[in-house]
Every structure is written in C-alpha cells, then in structure tokens.
Structure 1
Amino acid sequence: MYSLVDASLNTLHTIKWNICSDEKMSLLEKLGLVQGAKVSVIASYFGNVIVSVNGKRIAIEKDTAERVKV
C-alpha cells in the first residue's frame, strides 16, 4: 500500500483507505474519492497530484494526497 504521491502515473489504482481529517474526508467523499474507488494519477507536481476518478479530474494538495492510500 502506498500514497497517491507515490502512485505510478496513468495506472488504475484502487483506494484502500484515507486518514484525512473529518472535514477533508467529507470533501473527498463528495468528489468520489471513497474506499474502493478506481483512480488514476494523471500528473504529479512537487507532490501535488491530479487524479482522474469517475470521469472527473481532481487536483489534490500534497498533504492530502499523502494520506490517501492505494
């Protein structure tokens, strides 16, 4: 298991769990980043990542991306 920051680009990953605060977890759930969701890291810039989930592209800051495990 590794974080979104360490995930390989353009490869489909499954979210195992995240350890974000309740506020951030609620936001991620609304965006579709829930346990079991399929995500693909499209780009990574200094730890910040852009992921594709459910046909949407979402930018995630480094601190949050490090807490989402795939």
Structure 2
Amino acid sequence: MKNEIRPLNEQSTEQSKIALNLWVDDKNKHKLSDGFSDYIAEAHREQYLEIFTAMAKGEALKEK
C-alpha cells in the first residue's frame, strides 16, 4: 500500500515546492524594492488563492 500512495505524495510535495518557490521569489522581490503596491499585493493574493484552490481540488480528486 505504501508504494501505491507514494506517487500521490510525490505530486503533492512537488506542488507544495512550486508554491513555496513562488512565494519566496515574490518575498525577495518585495524586499529588494522595499515594498509593493496595493495592486501587486491584491494580484499576488489572488494568484496564491488560485494555486492553493487548485491544489485542494487535486487532493480531493485523489481521494475519490
């Protein structure tokens, strides 16, 4: 059973790494520019909401 589950975990782990890398990149860009506009903040908020929503939907599909 462990070997059957492993590919699902690898996919989830990879998705989490991608989301984390995007967040770290954005954080570093904001740090270098000493802040960011409200527009960029809202755009990034929406971007991460879409990413995490897609990840949650993917997890829900795996359970079926």
TM-score normalised per structure 2: 0.28
* Structure with the larger strand share: 1
Higher RCO, 1 or 2 (CA under 8 Å, sep at least 6)?
2
Q: Larger helix proportion, structure 1 or 2?
A: 2
TM-score normalised per structure 1: 0.26
